[in-house]
Amino acid sequence: MKLATWNVNSVNARLPLLLEWFREAAPDVCALQEIKCIDEKFPIEAFESLGYNCAVFGQKTWNGVAILSKFPLSDVTKGLPGDDSDEQSRYIEALVEAPQPVRFVGIYLPNGNPLGTDKFAYKLRWLERLHARAAQLLTLEEATIITGDFNIIPTKADCWKESVWLDDALYQPAVRQAYQGLKNLGYTDAFDVMPPEGNRYTFWDYQAGAWQKNEGIRIDHHLLSPQAADRLNGLVIHKDTRGRTHDEAKPSDHVPVEIELA
C-alpha cells in the first residue's frame, strides 16, 4: 500500500503535471496541501477518472488540503480540533477503508514567518493543538499516519546550509522541539527508518537557482503510529517532479514523498 504527500502549490495551476505523476506512480492514498481553491473548484472529476475518492477542505486563494484515495473514505474530519475560531484550511483526517484500514491525516502546518509576529505565535499554537490530537489518535490503537508539509526542518542535516535558516521560523528551536515532541509521543518519522539514497530534500525554492544548485530542505514528513511503523516497507522522494514542466505549467516547489506499508 503506497501512501504519499505532496504540497502542490495550486492544484488547478499544475493539474497536467499532477495527473501525469498520479498515472505513473499510482499511489493508493495521497494527501495534498496548498490546493489554493474552494471545494467547488477542486478538479474532482479529473481524479475520479483515475479511480480516486476525494475528500477536500479548501480555502479561497490560500491553503487548502485534500485526501485522494483508491479506497473508500469515512469518518472525515475537516479542521484541526482545539480552536473553533481557526478559519484556515490546514487539516484533514479520514479513515481509509483498505483491507487493512489506515487513519490518514493530511496537514499543512503554518509557515510562521516572520519571527516576532502573530504568524509565528499561530504556528506554535497550531503545533500544540496538533500534539493534543496526535496523542488522542494514539489511544485508538490504529495504524495512523500524520503526513504533509510540516514547515519544519528537523535537523541541520535536513537543510543545505544551516546558517541560512537560523532566523527562519522553519528552523527555530521551539518548532523543532515540537516536532520531536510528536515523536516522543510514540510516532516514527519514516525518514529516520528508511532514508532514501542520494537525496533527503523535499523542497527547493523558486528563487536564486535553488533547484539547479540543489539548495533544498526536508519539510514534508510522514509520522507513523506504532501500528503503522511496524508495516513500513519503503520510502521514496520523487525528486524528478521538481524538474518537470508541462506546457505553461511549472512544477511545485515541493515534490511527492511516498511511503509503502506491507
List residues with catalytic annotation: 108, 149, 254
The domain spans of the chain are 2-257
53 is in an annotated binding site: no
222 is in an annotated binding site: no
- Cell reading at 170: 522553519
246 is in an annotated binding site: no
118 is in an annotated binding site: no
pLDDT tens for the chain, residues 1 to 262: 999 999 999 999 999 999 999 999 999 999 999 999 999 999 999 999 999 999 999 999 999 999 999 999 999 999 999 999 999 999 999 999 999 999 999 999 999 999 999 999 999 999 999 999 999 999 999 999 999 999 999 999 999 999 999 999 999 999 999 999 999 999 999 999 999 999 999 999 999 899 999 999 999 999 999 999 999 999 999 999 999 987 778 999 999 999 999 9
DSSP string of 177-215?
Answer: HHHHHHHHHT-EEHHHH-PPSS----EE-SGGGTTTTT-
**pLDDT confidence of residue 205:** 97
Fold of 2-257: Deoxyribonuclease I; Chain A (3.60.10)
**pLDDT confidence of residue 214:** 97
pTM over 0.75: yes
| Nearby residues of 12 by Cβ (< 8 Å), 6 or more positions away | 36, 37, 41, 43
The helix (run of H) or strand (run of E) holding residue 124 is helix 118-138
192 is in an annotated binding site: no
